[in-house]
Amino acid sequence: MSSSKKNDVHRFYDRPPAVSPECFPWEDQAAVDSTTTLLHTHDTRDAPRIDADVTFNFDQVVSSNSPESCWTYLMNLEKRGSPHTDINLLNKLKDCYSKIFSRMPIRQFSKNTSYARILVRYAELKGIEDADEAQDHFIVARSNCKGFAFVHVAHAQFEVGTLNYMPPEAIKDTSSQAGKARSKISPKGDVWSLGCILYCMTYGKTPFQSITNQIAKLHAIIDTSHRIEFPDIAETDLLDVLKRCLVRNPRERISIAELLEHQYLQLKPQVSPGPECPTNRELQKILMDLAALQSPNSIVRAANNLAKMCNSGGKLDVAECAKSST
C-alpha cells in the first residue's frame, strides 16, 4: 500500500472530536491487560443500559462519547446476521464504525478497552473485502493499543484464519434457523485444510488464492460449480490425494483413516546400502601398496587399517592406510 494511503488510514482514526479532549499519546500508555482476553467479551459496568433493539438511534449512542455503549450497540447489530454473507449488514456496520472514529479520535481513547475492541473488530470487517487493508488497520490498533493482549492475539488469529484454508462446511450458514449463524467443524474439515496446504506446496498457491475479494472467495469455496484447477504433475498419487481432499461435500471427501492408507503415504522401507566392493583394479592397487611396504609390521598395520575402513562402510583409502603404516 502506498504511503499516502497509509497516511489516510491513520488520519481516519485521528479526526478531532466535537469537544477537544486532553490527548493521551500511545507511547506513554501502561500495559493494562496482561492476559489473553476474549475479543468479544466486553465490560459494561460504565456503559449506559441500551435496549437490545438495534434500531436504537446510533447517533445518540455516539454522542455519548462512550466506547462501551458503542461496542454494546455494535455487538447487538451483528446479531442480526453474518457480515461475511450479508453485504448490507457489512456496509451498515462500517458506517457505524466510521461515525465512532469521527466522534472519538484514537488519541483520546487508546487506553479504553472497548475502544480497542472496536478497532480490532473494524480491522476484521475490513478484511472481509480486502485482507491487505485489514492488515493496515491492525497495525493502527496494535500501535495505539499495544497494552491490550487481545489486540495482538486477534491479529495473529486473523492471519491464521484466512479463507484460503477454510472448508466449505466451516463457513457460517445463515440460510436456516431464522438467519442464526452456525458453524460446522469436523475432522473432514481438517482434511480439506490439509489439502489446501498440500496444494500450496505443490502449485505455489492455495486453490482460491487468486480471488482477492473475500466475499467472492467465500462464495467460490461453497459453490460446487466453481471448478478447482489441478494442473498435471509427475506424482500421480499426490494428485489423487489433492483431488480427494478438496471435495466440497464432506461425506464424499476422503477421511483421515483412508488418507493414512493411501498409496501416497505408504513409505517404502529404505535398505541401507552395503559397503562398496572394490574393483579388481582397486584390489590390485591395494596389493601393490602393501607389497611396497618394506616392514612386515607395516604390512600388518596397513591391513588392520584397511579392515577398519571396511567395517565402517567407508571407501577404502589405500594410500592413507599405507601412509599411516610408515
Question: Phi and psi at residue 173, in whole multiples of 5°?
Answer: -105, 115
Give the mean pLDDT of the chain.
72
Q: With respect to residue 34, please indicate whether it lies within any of the assigned structural domains.
A: yes
Asked which of 111, 144, 160 is the last residue of a domain, the reply is: 160
> Do 232 and 310 fall within a single domain?
no
Q: Tell me, what's the pLDDT at 292?
A: 66
Least confident of 80-84, 211-215, 243-247: 211-215
Whether 132 is catalytic is yes
> Do 152 and 179 fall within a single domain?
no
Could you tell me the residue range of the domain that residue 208 belongs to? 168-265
Q: Tell me, what's the pLDDT at 245?
A: 95
Q: Tell me, what's the pLDDT at 278?
A: 58
Q: With respect to residue 306, please indicate whether it lies within any of the assigned structural domains.
A: yes
> Do 47 and 147 fall within a single domain?
yes
Q: With respect to residue 272, please indicate whether it lies within any of the assigned structural domains.
A: no
Tell me how far apart the alpha carbons of residues 15 and 21 are, in angstroms, rounded to a whole number: 12
> Do 88 and 20 fall within a single domain?
yes
| CATH value at residue 82 | 1.25.40.10
Q: Tell me, what's the pLDDT at 15?
A: 46
297-309 pLDDT per residue, tens: 666 676 677 666 6
> Do 26 and 144 fall within a single domain?
yes
Q: Tell me, what's the pLDDT at 23?
A: 32
Q: Tell me, what's the pLDDT at 233?
A: 92
Cross-strand pairs, 148: 33
DSSP per residue over 297-311, as a string?
A: HHHHHHHHHHHHHHH
29-43 pLDDT per residue, tens: 333 332 223 233 334
Average pLDDT over residues 288-300: 65
> Do 192 and 255 fall within a single domain?
yes
Count of domains observed in the chain:
3
> Do 240 and 298 fall within a single domain?
no
Sign of the Cα torsion 101, 106, 108, 114 reads positive
Residue 1, classed as helix, strand or coil, is coil
Query: From the centroid of its chain, how far is CA 315?
Result: 48
Only one residue has cell 612386515, namely 296
Residue 287, classed as helix, strand or coil, is helix
Q: Tell me, what's the pLDDT at 41?
A: 36
> Do 7 and 34 fall within a single domain?
yes
Q: Tell me, what's the pLDDT at 189?
A: 85
> Do 10 and 107 fall within a single domain?
yes
Q: With respect to residue 270, please indicate whether it lies within any of the assigned structural domains.
A: no
Question: Phi and psi at residue 57, in whole multiples of 5°?
Answer: -60, 110
Only one residue has cell 490425494, namely 241
Asked which of 142, 160, 178 is the last residue of a domain, the reply is: 160
pLDDT category at 137 given cuts 50, 70, 90 is: confident
Least confident of 93-102, 142-151, 201-210: 142-151
243-269 pLDDT per residue, tens: 999 999 999 999 989 998 999 888 666
Q: Can you give the pTM of this predicted structure?
A: 0.41
> Do 67 and 205 fall within a single domain?
no
* Catalytic residue (one of 43, 132, 237, 317): 132
Least confident of 44-58, 209-223, 284-298: 44-58
> Do 216 and 142 fall within a single domain?
no
> Do 140 and 199 fall within a single domain?
no
- The C-alpha cell that represents 320 in the structure block: 592413507
The pLDDT of residue 25 is above 60: no
Query: Mean pLDDT: which of 15-24, 124-133, 204-213, 263-272 is highest?
Result: 204-213
Average pLDDT over residues 114-139: 84
More confident position, 154 or 325: 154
Question: Phi and psi at residue 82, in whole multiples of 5°?
Answer: -115, 120
